[in-house]
C-alpha cells in the first residue's frame, strides 16, 4: 500500500528556455512499522519537457547517509511518453536504528538536479558559490523529507549486563549460524540415472555388434561369418585355406536367405535384401569365383580373380550392412 | 523406395549414435561419481567441524557450507583472525547468504568478547570491538536482509556500548575550534603599509 503525493511546479521564470520540470511524483512506502535492518524503497518520477537531463553526478551515492541509515542502491531510468521525458529514480534505504521505543526519524530532503545541455554546464561553477543555485533553480526538483516510525525489536529490560553478572550475554544473543550438510540425494539420483543409461547403451552396443551374450544372434549370420573369417585368417596369419573361407561365407548367405543360395539366385537375393544392392558387383564376382573354385577345378584362377583379402573385405561390408539394417 | 531410403538413413546412424550415447553416459557417470565423492568428503568435514574437531579445509576448493563450518569452528576457538582471513580468501566465491552467516558468527564472537571487556571495565577496547562487530552485522544484513537473528544481535551489540552519532557532533566542534584558532593567532600580518 503506497501513498503518493504529487508536487506540480509552476515554472514562471523559464527565461526563454523551453526546458522545464513539469511535475514530480513521489511514491512513498508506508511510514510506520519499521525495524532495524528493514529495507524500504522510494520511487521518484520526474516529468520534464524540452531538453532537460538528469544531472547524475549530483545524485546521492550509495553508502551510509547517517549513523542510522544506509542508501543501499539508487537506480535511474529514462523514458519518453507523449513528447515528455520522464525520469524514474528508485532509492533503496536500509535502516540501522536500534529503537528503545517507537521513534520517528526523518530521511532528510534532497534535491534532484537537472541540466539543460544547451546552456552552460552547472559544474563549471564551484559548488559553494551562491549564484549556482539561483541560476539552476529552474532545474531542481526537491524530494521532500520522509518521516519514519521505527519500532523496537526486543524487550530492553533484559540486558542488565553490568557487574552483578546475573545474565550472560550469550543468553540474550541469538545463537550462531550452523553449517548445513550438503544434500546428496540429487547427486545419487544423477549417478543412478547415468549408470542406468550406461548399462542400456552397453547392452545395445553388444547386441549391435553381436558380441558375447548376443553372439548366437540368428539375425546376424554375416557378422558371425566375418568374425569367423577374421579368426581363421589371424590363426593362419593370412594363409587360411581359400575354400574354407568361401564356404563360411556361403553358409552365411544360406542362413541369411533361409535356403541355399547359388550364383543364379543372386539377383533374387538382392531384390529381397535391398540393403546389399550396393555390393552386387562384388557378390557376383564372389559367386563366379566360387563356381570356378568348386566346380571347374581351376582353383588358382579363382583365387587370383577374387583373392582372400577381397573376400574378407566383402564379409566386412556385408556384416556392416547387416548391422545397419536392424 | 523413398520410405526405405529414409529408414536406411536412420538405421545407418545407429552404430555411431550408440557409441555417442555410451560416451556421454560414461562422462556423466564420471562427473556424478566425482561430485558425490567430493560431497561426501565435504559432509564428513562439516560433521567433524560441527562436532568441534579442528579439521583443516582447503579454502579455495571447499563447498561454501564447509567454509562456514570451518569459520564457525575458528570463531569458537577464539581465532577470529583466522576466521577473517578464511572469509576474505573465500569471500568472492561464497553465496551472499553463506557470507552473511559467516560474518554474523564472527560479529557474535566479537560481541561476546566486548561484553566480557565491559564487565572487566575495559570500556575502550569494548567500544572498538563493538564497532567492528556492528560494521560486520551491517554488512551481513546488507547481504541477507531477511536474517532476523542478525537484526536481533545487532540490536544487542548496539546496547552494550552506547551508540551515538559521534561523527556529526565531532565535526562541527572541530571546525569551530579550528576557526577560532586561526582568528586568535597573534602576529598575523595586517597587510602591506
A190-239: pLDDT as tens digits: 999 999 999 999 988 888 887 777 766 656 888 888 888 888 888 887 67
Domain count, chain A: 2
Domain boundary (A139, A155, A171) is at A155
Judging contacts by C-beta atoms under 8 Å, the chain A residues touching residue B4 are 274
Q: Which whole number is the average pLDDT over B89-116?
A: 91
Whether residues A145 and A235 fall in one domain: no
Nearest chain B residue to A325 by CA distance is B11
CA angle B4/B9/B13 to nearest 5° reads 140
Q: How far is it, in rounded angstroms, from Cα A136 to Cα A116? A: 9
CB proximity B163 to A under 8 Å: yes
Write out pLDDT tens, residues B23-82: 999 999 999 999 999 999 999 999 999 998 888 888 888 899 999 999 999 999 989 999
Which residue range is the domain that position A84 belongs to? 3-155
Q: Could you say which of B21, B75, B141 has the minimum Cβ distance to residue A37?
A: B141
Choices 1.10.357, 1.25.40, 3.90.1570, 1.10.10: CATH for B95-165: 1.25.40
CB proximity B128 to A under 8 Å: no
For residue B54, the distance in angstroms to the closest alpha carbon of chain A comes to 15
Whether residues A129 and A7 fall in one domain: yes
DSSP readout, A247-263? HHHHHHHHHHHTS---G
Within a domain: A219: yes
CA angle A58/A3/A82 to nearest 5° reads 65
| Residue that has been written with the C-alpha cell 547481504 in this structure | B143
Q: How far is it, in rounded angstroms, from Cα B88 to Cα A116? A: 45
Within a domain: A186: no
Q: Which whole number is the average pLDDT over A304-318?
A: 85
Percent above pLDDT 90 for chain A: 23
Please choose, from the candidates A105, A112, A101, the residue with its C-alpha nearest in 3D space to the C-alpha of residue A136: A112
Whether residues A142 and A208 fall in one domain: no
Question: Rounded to 5 degrees, what are φ and ψ at B20?
Answer: -60, -45
pLDDT tops 90 at residue B162: no
Q: Are B62 and B98 in contact (CB under 8 A)?
A: no
Pull the grid cell for residue A96. 540501522
Within a domain: A164: no
So where are chain B's domains?
23-93, 95-165
Q: What residues have CB less than 8 Å from A79, skipping those under 6 apart?
A: A85, A86, A88
**The pLDDT value given to residue A125:** 43
Domain boundary (A91, A125, A155) is at A155
**The pLDDT value given to residue A253:** 85
Task: Output the CA–CA distances (angstroms, integers) from residue A232 to A205, A217, A242, A245, A319, in the order listed.
Answer: 24, 20, 10, 8, 17
Within a domain: A190: no
Q: Are B8 and A277 in contact (CB under 8 A)?
A: no
pLDDT tops 60 at residue B19: yes
Chain B interface disruption, residue of A35, A36, A37, most B CBs within 10 A: A37
Whether residues A33 and A126 fall in one domain: yes
Domain boundary (A155, A180, A211) is at A155
Q: Which whole number is the average pLDDT over A276-290?
A: 85
- The whole model's pTM is what? 0.67
Residue A34's CATH number: 2.60.40
Lowest mean pLDDT among A111-120, A155-164, A268-277, B72-81: A155-164
Whether residues A150 and A207 fall in one domain: no
pLDDT tops 90 at residue A135: no
Amino acid at each position: 500500500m503506497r501513498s503518493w503525493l504529487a508536487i506540480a511546479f509552476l515554472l514562471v521564470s523559464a527565461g526563454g528556455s523551453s526546458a522545464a520540470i513539469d511535475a514530480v511524483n513521489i511514491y512513498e512506502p508506508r511510514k510506520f512499522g519499521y525495524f532495524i535492518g528493514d529495507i524500504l524503497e522510494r520511487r521518484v518520477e520526474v516529468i520534464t519537457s524540452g531538453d532537460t537531463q538528469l544531472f547524475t553526478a549530483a545524485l546521492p551515492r550509495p553508502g551510509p547517509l547517517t549513523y542510522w541509515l544506509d542508501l543501499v542502491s539508487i537506480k535511474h531510468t529514462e523514458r519518453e511518453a507523449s513528447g515528455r521525458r520522464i525520469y524514474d529514480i528508485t532509492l533503496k534505504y536500509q535502516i540501522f536504528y536500534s529503537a528503545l521505543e517507537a521513534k520517528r526519524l526523518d530521511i532528510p530532503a534532497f534535491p534532484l538536479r537537472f541540466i539543460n545541455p544547451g546552456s552552460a554546464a552547472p559544474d563549471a561553477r564551484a559548488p559553494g558559490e551562491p549564484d549556482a543555485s539561483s541560476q539552476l533553480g529552474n532545474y531542481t526538483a526537491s524530494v521532500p523529507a520522509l518521516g519514519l516510525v521505527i519500532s523496537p525489536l526486543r524487550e530492553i529490560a533484559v540486558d542488565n549486563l553490568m557487574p552483578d553478572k546475573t545474565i550472560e550475554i550469550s543468553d540474550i544473543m541469538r545463537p550462531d549460524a550452523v553449517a548445513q550438510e550438503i544434500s546428496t540425494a540429487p547427486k545419487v539420483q544423477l549417478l543412478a540415472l547415468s549408470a542406468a543409461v550406461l548399462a542400456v547403451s552397453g547392452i545395445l552396443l553388444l547386441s549391435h555388434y553381436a558380441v558375447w551374450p548376443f553372439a548366437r544372434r540368428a539375425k546376424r549370420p554375416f557378422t558371425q561369418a566375418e568374425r569367423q573369417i577374421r579368426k581363421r585368417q589371424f590363426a593362419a596369419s593370412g594363409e587360411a585355406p581359400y575354400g574354407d573361407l568361401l564356404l563360411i561365407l556361403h553358409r552365411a548367405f544360406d542362413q541369411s536367405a533361409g535356403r541355399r543360395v547359388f550364383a543364379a539366385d543372386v539377383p533374387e537375393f538382392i531384390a529381397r535384401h535391398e540393403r546389399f544392392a550396393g555390393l552386387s558387383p562384388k557378390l557376383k564376382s564372389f559367386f563366379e569365383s566360387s563356381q570356378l573354385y568348386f566346380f571347374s577345378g581351376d582353383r588358382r584362377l579363382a583365387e587370383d580373380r577374387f583373392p582372400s583379402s577381397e573376400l574378407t573385405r566383402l564379409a566386412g561390408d556385408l556384416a556392416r550392412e547387416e548391422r545397419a539394417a536392424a | 523406395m523413398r520410405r526405405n531410403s529414409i529408414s536406411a538413413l536412420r538405421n545407418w546412424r545407429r552404430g555411431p549414435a550408440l557409441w555417442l550415447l555410451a560416451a556421454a553416459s560414461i562422462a556423466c557417470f564420471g562427473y556424478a561419481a566425482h561430485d558425490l565423492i567430493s560431497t561426501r568428503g565435504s559432509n564428513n568435514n562439516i560433521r567433524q567441524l560441527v562436532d568441534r574437531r579442528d579439521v583443516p579445509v582447503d579454502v579455495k576448493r571447499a563447498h561454501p557450507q564447509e567454509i562456514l563450518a570451518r569459520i564457525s569452528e575458528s570463531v569458537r576457538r577464539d581465532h577470529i583472525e583466522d576466521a577473517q582471513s578464511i572469509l576474505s580468501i573465500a569471500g568472492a566465491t561464497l553465496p551472499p547468504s553463506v557470507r552473511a552467516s559467516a560474518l554474523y558468527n564472527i560479529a557474535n564472537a566479537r560481541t561476546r568478547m566486548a561484553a566480557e571487556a565491559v564487565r572487566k571495565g575495559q570500556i575502550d577496547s569494548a567500544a572498538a570491538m563493538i564497532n567492528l562487530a556492528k560494521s560486520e552485522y551491517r554488512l551481513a544484513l546488507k547481504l541477507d536482509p531477511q536474517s532476523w537473528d542478525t537484526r536481533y544481535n545487532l540490536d544487542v551489540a548496539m546496547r552494550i556500548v552506547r551508540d551515538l552519532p559521534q561523527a556529526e557532533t565531532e565535526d562541527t566542534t572541530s571546525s569551530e575550534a579550528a576557526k577560532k584558532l586561526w582568528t586568535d593567532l597573534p602576529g598575523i600580518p595586517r597587510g602591506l603599509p
